[in-house]
Amino acid sequence: MQVDDSNDLSPPNRKPGRPARISRDAIAGAALEIGLDVATVTSVAAQLGVDHSSLYRHVRGRDEIIAAAAELAVADLYWRRTEGDWRLFLEAMCDAVWDLYERHPGLADAIRSMEVMPVSGIRSFGEAVVQMQAYGFALPDAVLAVETLIDVTSDSFLGWRRITSGDAEGRPRVEVLAARWDQVAEEEPALAGALRHTAEVMRGEPRRWWLRKRALVLEGIAARLQP
């Protein structure tokens, strides 16, 4: 006999799953997954599967999301090493910073534009200085060495990121810039060698050129600051 269940008032079957859970760290993590260069309150909420109004219980707006995401990302920075000398230590530190920026698009810009450095970044800086002191560097020299290398790494990354991105028409900006240098080289024969070589550098691999800059700074540290 067929049973008529048209009046069955039992609740419909629900798909299994956990209720959405929102926290400041979850919001920061979602922003990192999206990319800090494109993350918005709306896109972060969509990533978490919640209405954007839910986020305002934990953050005041996009700026606070970006700050929380930067704090979370920098807390993951790992550069510590116990073997080797001060030079290997500083190379590992620079590599870790560059790799962190590559993993999280927009992070370098976010940190550069912040009025206050993430606490995790301040701690990492202090730890690096203390480690340089353990290698025998005087405190002022240790601070100078660490700060200089972090500045060079960040500036180099940001510079390359800007010229390798697309312009308003979608063309690689590096090609537009390099072509301009080539054009001036044609107009100024006495400067042609220097200008064309610079254009070649622009078209080259960013990290390779940055490594040469880093090596130059390390040589300066060895010559001027090494105990």
Domain boundaries, the chain: 20-75, 80-224
Do residues 133 and 139 make contact, with C-beta atoms less than 8 angstroms apart?
Answer: yes
CATH number of the domain located at residue range(s) 20-75 in this protein: 1.10.10.60
pTM score of the predicted model: 0.81
CB atoms within 10 A of CB 39: 24
Indicate the fold that domain 80-224 takes in CATH: Tetracycline Repressor; domain 2 (1.10.357)
Is there a common fold for 20-75 and 80-224? no
Q: Report the C-alpha gap between 144 and 154 in whole angstroms.
A: 15
Please report, in tens digits, the pLDDT of each residue of the chain (227 residues total): 444 444 444 444 444 444 456 899 999 999 999 999 999 999 999 999 999 898 999 999 999 999 999 999 998 887 776 678 999 999 999 999 999 999 999 999 999 888 778 899 999 999 999 999 999 999 999 999 999 999 999 999 999 888 888 777 777 889 989 999 999 999 999 999 999 999 999 999 999 999 999 999 999 999 999 88
Q: Which residue has the tokens 């209405």?
A: 51
